[in-house]
Structure 1
Amino acid sequence: MKNAPNPELVNMTNIPNVHTKRSKGGSGLRNKYLPYLLLVPVFTMIIVVVFIPLLTTIIYSFQSYRLTNREEQATFIGLKNYFTLFQDDRFISSLVTSLIYIAGSVVGMLILALITAQIANQAFKGRSVFRSTILLPWAVAPVVAAQAWKFMFETDYGIINHILTSLGVIERNIPWLVSSETTMGSVILTNIWKTTPLLTLIIVSGLQTISKDLYESADMDGASPFKKYFYITLPLIKPFILMGLIFTTLQTINVIDIIYVMTGGGPGEATEIFTLYNYKVFFQYLDFGLGGAMAVIGVTVIGILIFIYGRNMNKQINH
């Protein structure tokens, strides 16, 4: 006949299990809330840096708020600032100038990025050096890049006029940054040189996702290099192109360093883009009400562009 188990021993053996369950339950609660606690600093920074300034700007846009006039500080005027802007010829001109600047920059960046990305994706000796070289403009600060190109575009002693004159392309020096006919092209060229590496890097990452089997199958069918590029490569990298265009377009719209350093918006208002005019209204004219309304319009336009890009990118991914 077997001996019955000692109840005290049974209780003693069960005690550690109880503590283990309790400790597991406590650690489970800690693990449950730990991710949210870690996200608190991030959300706090987003609220302080993004949402509070945005909300303040929206409030300013409905007020007459000029620091130079104490009687017109924090006075509610409704939509008057918005009506004033759309009746302002300078504001309309800045919008048109921005569209020209963005369109010229995006088209130039896209063509150059597709060419350089295709070269960088090929296997050849010194490819790593080539990839590092094409990324150098992106690493240069916008102010430094703008100042360097300003010297090169200088009318009397700039290297661009010197080279063109030596080659016999032009007979006399061209005032690149002084003439309204050439100044926009000059700042667009500078922005293309500065921003294209970012788009190139994104397109190269897209090219590396394409399977070589597709090209081998096309070779067996006798497809030419152009057909392979337009029927295989381009359709497969379209999502990457659209993603890159989102970043480059935002950088082109928001970064005013190049135009501010090279032309200051001149000659006249030939290169005064929307964001540069908004900067002047805020920090030179000290009109926070009108500047706030301009900022709200700018955020709305940028949101629409991102929506269009994102929608097209989703269509390409779903296909």
Structure 2
Amino acid sequence: MTRTLRTPQELVDAGLIAPAAASALEAVAARYSIAVTPAMAALIREAGAPIAAQYLPEPEELITAPHELEDPTADAPFTPIKGVVHRYPDRALLKPLLACPVYCRFCFRREAVGPDGGLLSEAELEAALDWFAETPAVREVILTGGDPLMLSPRRLGRILARLAAIPHIETLRIHSRVPVADPGRITPGMLAALTLDRPLYLCVHANHAAEFTPEAAAGLRGLHAAGLVLLGQSVLLRGVNDSEAALEALFRAMLRHRVKPYYLHQLDPAPGTARFHVPVEEGLALLRALRGRVTGLAWPSYVQEQPAGAGKMPLGMAGMRGGAGQAREAV
């Protein structure tokens, strides 16, 4: 297999879903994009359910549970210009495109992302970069989307260089699935584009230890050698990592590959994602069980997105001691 699978029939032909399931999934594909890279298709065959659940569509995606929200993160009210989200005083998101190497079935942006790319035009990108230059309160730029590492090295390098040249921008951050989902994109050209004279953090999204394949390990070594600080973000997901053993293995795998666990996200209540939901109390209990079993280096912040765009709140240390209280501070 040499290309990304994008339709139910292609998933059937690759042996990833049963032929009888294809017709029921056409309606899902019409609403939410499908993408399974060759690397992930191979891993689904090898590791099974914890990987398959993340990427293979299910009919339940068309059912919206009562607690689910059409826009769980409420980006729109905090969008001063196309491609920018400014929710916190000192940092803002830049979304240069809306394409990803894979489309996670639990993603809170599933309605927006897709193969058409949502790429900012040259004029839109210039306007967004000008906004950062003209907004001195912003000290950190977080590139997300979509997946910024889907950009060509030339385009990504130009964006990063332009941001790094703004005096008040102190740090840059990229959030990406590419290092584990499509590690072949970590080419010498990409590494050159990511080599900056400015602190650059790469937040690697991985949810299961099996995602750290030999190919992913090679890409992560290259990124680390290029001077990037590697952080890990994960989503707590039913059937993927909702056990003490799975979380411990995930955090240990991150550390083995020079990735510091940073965020463990409570699932955002996007439409059609109820099958992945793990209650907060259960998440806190899992982390309590790992206290003392894993090094503090392996300890992420357990965070939950608040309604109406209020941002992430840590599910705090009071919860680790037995309650489910939240620390009242944005992170």
Task: Determine if the TM-score, normalized by the shorter chain, exceeds 0.5.
Answer: no
Q: TM-score, normalised by structure 1?
A: 0.20
Greater helix content: 1
Greater strand content: 2
Q: TM-score, normalised by structure 2?
A: 0.19
